Each structure stands twice: as C-alpha cells, then as structure tokens.
Amino acid sequence: MRNEVDLLDLARKKLFLLDLDGTIYLEETLLPGAADFLAYVRKTGGTYRFLTNNSSRGVDAGLEKMRRLGIPAEREDFLTAVEATIHYLHKNRAPADVYYVVGTDSFRRQLAEAGFALRDGAAGDVTAVLVGFDTELTYQKIENACRLLARGADFLATNPDLACPTQFGFIPDCGSICQMLTNACGRRPVFIGKPDPTMIHLAWEQTGYGSAETLMVGDRLYTDIACGFNAGTDTALVLTGEATAADAAVSRTPPTAVYRDCGALLAALRAAREEPDTRKKESET
C-alpha cells in the first residue's frame, strides 16, 4: 500500500468531499471511524460535503438518515447526482426537451419541480430517456425505454455505478440498469454524475475552496476517485466498500492515498497536523 503521508499533504486540507454508501455508512450502520472523522472536521473548522451518486432519494431523505445515524447535517452539506443532472440538463439540453425517466418517484418529483417536462410512457414527443438508480424498477419501464431508444431518443443517465453496497453484499445500481438497456438496444448513455467533476466544481463554487485544499474520499475507483482525478484534486480511497488495495494499484485513476476506513484517515489527518492520538492516550490511562 502506498505511503499516504509522503504523497498527500493532509495538513492543507480544509474541504472534505465524501461519498456516502460504502464510505460513511452501509444501509443503517455507520462505518468505522466515520462519526469521529466528521466531528473532527467540524471541530477544527473544516467543511464537508456529501457527494452521492444515489438518485433514488432526495436530500430530505438523506438528512433524515444522517440524523437517524447521529450525524449533524444540513441541506447545504449534500450534493447529489440529481442536482448534477438538473445542472447538466439546464446547461446542455433544450428547454423544450421531454424526458422519460427510469427512476424513483423521488427522482421524478425533483425533476418536475426543476421545471422539466416528463412523460409516463413511451409518448411520441419524448426526446430523451433518463435513467437513475431505480429501486422501484419494473419491466414496463425497461420496455418503454427500449421503445424510445429504438426510435432515436437520446440516452442519459445519472451515474455509471454498477452496484450499490448493502450489509449482505451488493444490489444493481444505475450502471447495471443502463447495461441491460445497452445489451438490448446497442445504445450507450451519457453519464452525468461522478466521475464527471460537476459536483466537485459546484462544491468549490459554494465554499470558495480550491483543489489544493480539497480531498475527495470514497470507496469506488471508477466514480469517486475518478471524479477527484478528473477535477484535479487529491483523493483518498477507503476500503470499506467496493474497491480493494489491489484494485487501486492497477487503476487508471489511482487514488493519492489508500486508507482502511475513515478512522484510519482521521488518524493520518491528526498526525499530519502533529496532534496526539487522543484515543491511544485514553486507552493507556
């Protein structure tokens, strides 16, 4: 494993951009060191943002979950693939576009509230199929999407994640749904969320920080770490989700550093700032 202290100047980091699933928690369980790490960042004047590719739920659901887990969080602490998608559609698509959404009711509601025209079925005026992490997926949605893609509708998706981590293993994510459509229709989507750096750019706009002060932290190489790599900022891979240290060693977008979990990242951050390990001192008394 690479030497984190040599390659990563943690003492300079003020903005921590954090994936959620597989990094901070698994379902309803906080991962080791996550709560202590977040508390330390806030206590020492730092800032964190939760950057999630999960489009199946809105920020309100994320806030409720973090509070259930005992993590202080405000609406402004979240940047989601849905927000990145809305930003992308406003910037890159025509105002008259009409969308068929393969996604949850929450995803559809957020898009409608943002002013986009949506259709419930394979209507003739649909100009683009938009796929998210759909935990309410039906075969009818897949068939409708295939009909529209066959007619020439554009193919867009919130994120390329193939699997979402759970306590028992993994379940299919947006990337797997898109792969099924690709297999059937021979079409590949334009992915909008991580690894596209839009969410990181939005975080910089919100906070005023830049790449030198930022650390992107996540468990997935081809989304989280690639997102930081594409934005030109340092990255830290935690081994609590999908990727392994062996995966990191051969990645096209290698992390700046690899840590066992957020607890190990916290210990490294304290060491970089030349602070004593209080947990060790307490155990010795």
Angle separating helix axes 34-43 and 262-272, nearest 10 degrees: 30
Distance, in Å, from the CA atom of 150 to the CA atom of 178, rounded to the nearest integer, reads: 14
Q: Do 207 and 238 form a contact (C-beta atoms < 8 A)?
A: no
Residues in the chain, total: 285
Rama region for 33: left / alpha / beta (φ>0; ψ in -120 to 50; rest):
left
Catalytic residues: 19, 21
Query: What is the reported pLDDT for 57?
Result: 85
Query: What is the reported pLDDT for 275?
Result: 75
Distance, in Å, from the CA atom of 60 to the CA atom of 73, rounded to the nearest integer, reads: 11
Q: Do 104 and 110 form a contact (C-beta atoms < 8 A)?
A: no
Query: What is the reported pLDDT for 166?
Result: 86
Count of CB atoms situated within 10 Å of the CB of 62:
19
pLDDT digits (tens, 9 = 90+) for 35-87: 999 999 999 999 999 999 989 988 888 899 999 999 989 999 999 999 999 99
From residue 192, give the alpha-carbon distance in Å to each of 68, 181, 269, 270: 29, 17, 31, 35
How many whole angstroms from its chain centre is CA 171? 16
Query: What is the reported pLDDT for 129?
Result: 98
Distance, in Å, from the CA atom of 44 to the CA atom of 53, rounded to the nearest integer, reads: 28
DSSP 8-class letter at 21: B
Report the Cα–Cα distance between both ends of the chain, in Å, rounded: 32
Query: What is the reported pLDDT for 283?
Result: 40
Q: Which residues of the chain have pLDDT under 70?
A: 1-6, 276-285
